[in-house]
Structures are given as C-alpha cells and as structure tokens.
C-alpha cells in the first residue's frame, strides 16, 4: 500500500493564487486548522472557497476571509462572521448563496461525475436567477450543476500513512464528500498512525482519494 504521508514543509507546493478550495467544516468544526495556517503563511490570494459557512471570527476558514485572501465564497450562510458580511456589502467579496441541501448535492454530483440534478428548492426565488427551469409532471425544477474544486482540505480525527481517514461525530460533515470532488485532496489528521492500525470498518475516506496526509495541530489553532 502506497504511503501518502507528506511533510508539512512540502504542502505549500500545492497552493497557488486564484485556486478554488473546498473545505470541510460547520462553524469551524471539521475544518483543518494547520492547513488554514499554511495557506495564510504561503501568501496566496484571490481564492474561491466552497463550503458550508464562513465559520466564526478567527476560527477555521474565517481566518482567510479576515486576511482578505478570498475573492469569492460559495456557501450557505455567512451570518456568524461580521467581516464576511462587511466585505460582501462593499463589493470586495463575491458571494453565491446556495441552500445547504442543494450545496451538498452539487458537491456530491461533482464527485460522482454526474452532470447535475433537478430540485424544486429555490423555484420562484432569487436562487433561480440564471438557471434552467424544467417542468416535469406538473412540477417545476431547477437544474443545478455539479461543483468541483482544485483543492480539498480535510480535517480527520485519525488517519494512517496510506491516507485512510476516519472522523469523529459531527466533525465528519462535508469532509467525505469534498474528498471526491477535488483534483487534489490534502488531509490533516489529529492522530496519524501506521498503515494497518485503523480498523477497516472505521475508515470513512479511503486513501485512494487522498493526495497527502500529515499530523495536524490542535483543533482551534
């Protein structure tokens, strides 16, 4: 089994200006803190972020927005981060708001190689602007297109050096989905073990999906 372990000092080789980044996490739970710190340290900018929300001040993905490294956010809500709302109102941050179920399914379609899906959610609202609407069996549906990213950043509870990952409770959230929907997948594990030490039935993201894995730092740093 091929080793996927990478040293932290090589991770910046995967970063570049203008890239799209999917991130796991809900209000910061499940967002990889060390990877966020490395993105900040790298100096890259003009990022497009794709994920559930913008977290809380100085936590998770919020740190990139507060540092003005983000040009566009695709998410479900920003209400807990005043800096995000301020940048959106001033035109410094572009935002696309997507109902959370629709967002999850668009990411799933991106990972599954599907061309999109039909949903009644958003019909007759601003969510429908610019989207194709189909009428099928007396019901209107929006055609929602798949989402993919250049990079997915994942926070796992445990990982092994082959890149197999497991998550703890609700910190799982978006992480398994985004591992399928990005060209490069970097995983930060709170605990990194040797190959064979993870019980097979605990593995939620198989190593074949992961580009590289490393030992992370504390949850809220």
CB 96 within 8 A of CB 119: no
Asked whether residue 82 is domain-assigned, the answer is yes
Residue 220 within any structural domain of the chain: no
Would you state the pLDDT for residue 73? 98
139 part of a folded domain = no
C-alpha to C-alpha distance for 44 and 56, rounded to whole angstroms: 22
State residue 218's pLDDT score. Answer: 54
Q: Which domain holds residue 184?
A: 8-111+146-215
Is residue 21, in this structure, part of any structural domain at all? yes
Which H/E stretch holds residue 105?
A: helix 100-112
Q: For residue 132, is it within any domain?
A: no
Q: Identify whether the C-beta of residue 38 lies closer than 8 Å to the C-beta of residue 21.
A: no
- Indicate whether 58 belongs to any domain: yes
Is residue 48 a part of any domain in this protein? yes
Nearest residue to 206 (alpha-carbon basis) of 150, 165, 157: 165
Secondary structure letter of residue 198 according to DSSP: S
pTM over the 0.85 mark: yes
Closest by CA position to 192, among listed 219, 216, 167:
216
pLDDT tens digit sequence for 36-47: 999 999 999 999
pLDDT of residue 8: 87
- Give the pLDDT of residue 221: 37
Q: Domain with 188 in it: what CATH number?
A: 3.40.1080.10
Residues of the chain with pLDDT below 50 are 219-221
Number of domains in the chain: 1
Tokens of 135: 């009428």
**Is 121 part of a structural domain of the chain?**
no
Three-state SS for 190?
Answer: strand
């Amino acid at each position: 089994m091929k080793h996927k372990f990478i040293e932290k000092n090589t991770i910046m080789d995967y970063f570049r200006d203008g890239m799209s980044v999917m991130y796991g996490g809900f209000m910061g739970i499940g967002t990889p803190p060390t990877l966020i710190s490395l993105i900040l340290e790298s100096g890259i900018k003009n990022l497009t972020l794709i994920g559930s929300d913008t977290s809380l001040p100085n936590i998770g993905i919020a740190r990139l927005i507060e540092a003005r490294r983000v040009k566009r956010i695709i998410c479900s809500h920003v209400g807990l981060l005043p800096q995000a709302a301020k940048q959106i109102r001033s035109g410094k941050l572009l935002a696309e708001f997507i109902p959370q179920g629709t967002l999850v399914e668009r990411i799933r379609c991106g990972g599954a190689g599907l061309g999109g899906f039909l949903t009644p959610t958003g019909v007759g609202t601003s969510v429908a602007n610019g989207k194709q609407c189909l009428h099928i069996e007396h019901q209107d549906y929006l055609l929602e297109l798949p989402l993919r990213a250049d990079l997915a950043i994942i926070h796992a509870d445990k990982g092994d050096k082959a890149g197999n990952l497991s998550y703890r409770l609700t910190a799982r959230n978006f992480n398994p989905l985004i591992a399928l929907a990005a060209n490069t997948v970097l995983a930060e594990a709170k605990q990194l073990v040797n190959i064979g030490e993870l019980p097979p039935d605990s593995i939620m993201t198989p190593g074949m999906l992961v580009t590289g894995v490393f030992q992370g730092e504390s949850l809220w740093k």
